[in-house]
């Protein structure tokens, strides 16, 4: 083996080491605090998807087909939110970590209770997203703050949507054919939003 070949191999090894160990590992765009908070949010979105799937199953078992369809679609949307965070975390030079989830609640008293809980849950998600946005500003991480603006707008829509559903219970009422009409209206919301 010639001196040039040995030198080329040595140079390749040095460059490879620098790229994989020093440059990549040393250049993480999220602080540890923000990285942990982003992972927690990702897991909250994942848990939201599971919760809405559980609610959809309950609705289906009670004959609320429109609500089941709506909640299944919403569960998919929450999973997309999780995947978006997953991708962002990885693109910042960090690694998204999926943890274990507790089983979501499976039993509900009424259809109204299901949607009151979804509304409260969306309010929790909004609070967490706002805290993440505040943290990113505090840390002067403007890229992450910009990324989170999509989530803040999305949460505004989500809360408005679930508030609209709660209002349907108040306007239509739950007596007689009221629940049938509410369930049908909820199923039709997918076409509007």
Q: Which two three-digit tokens encode residue 51? A: 């919760």
* All residues at 6 or more sequence positions from 182 whose CB lies less than 8 Å from its CB, including other chains: 111, 168, 169, 172, 174
Spatial separation of the C-alpha atoms in residues 142 and 170, rounded to whole Å: 42
Cα–Cα dist 185/180, whole Å: 9
77 carries a ligand binding annotation: no
Closest among 37, 28, 27 to 138, alpha carbons compared: 37
109 CB neighbour count, 10 Å cutoff: 7
Check the CA dihedral 107-112-117-118 and report its sign.
Answer: positive
Does residue 122 have a known ligand-binding role? yes
Q: Is 32 annotated as a binding residue?
A: no
Determine if residue 80 is labeled as part of a ligand binding site: no
The answer to whether 186 and 52 have CB atoms below 8 angstroms apart is no
Task: Identify which of 160, 192, 173 has the alpha carbon closest to the alpha carbon of residue 66.
Answer: 192
193 is in an annotated binding site: no
Quote the Cα angle for 189-190-193, to 5°.
80
Residues in the annotated binding site for Fe cation: 45, 78, 81, 122, 155
Residues in the annotated binding site: 45, 78, 81, 122, 155
């Amino acid at each position: 083996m010639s001196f040039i070949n040995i030198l080329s191999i040595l140079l390749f090894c040095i460059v490879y080491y620098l790229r994989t160990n020093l440059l990549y590992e040393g250049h993480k765009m999220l602080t540890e605090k923000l990285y942990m908070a982003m992972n927690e949010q990702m897991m909250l979105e994942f848990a939201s998807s599971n919760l809405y799937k559980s609610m959809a199953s309950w609705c289906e078992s009670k004959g609320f087909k429109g609500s089941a369809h709506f909640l299944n679609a919403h569960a998919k949307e929450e999973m997309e939110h999780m995947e978006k965070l997953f991708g962002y975390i990885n693109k910042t030079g960090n690694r998204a970590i999926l943890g274990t989830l507790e089983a979501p609640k499976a039993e509900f008293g009424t259809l109204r209770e299901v949607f009151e809980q979804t509304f409260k849950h969306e309010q929790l998600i909004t609070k967490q997203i706002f805290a993440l946005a505040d943290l990113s500003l505090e840390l002067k991480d403007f890229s992450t703050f910009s990324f989170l603006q999509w989530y803040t707008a999305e949460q505004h829509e989500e809360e408005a949507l679930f508030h609209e559903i709660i209002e349907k219970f108040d306007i239509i009422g739950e007596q007689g054919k009221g629940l049938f009409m509410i369930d049908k209206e909820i199923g039709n919301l997918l076409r509007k939003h």
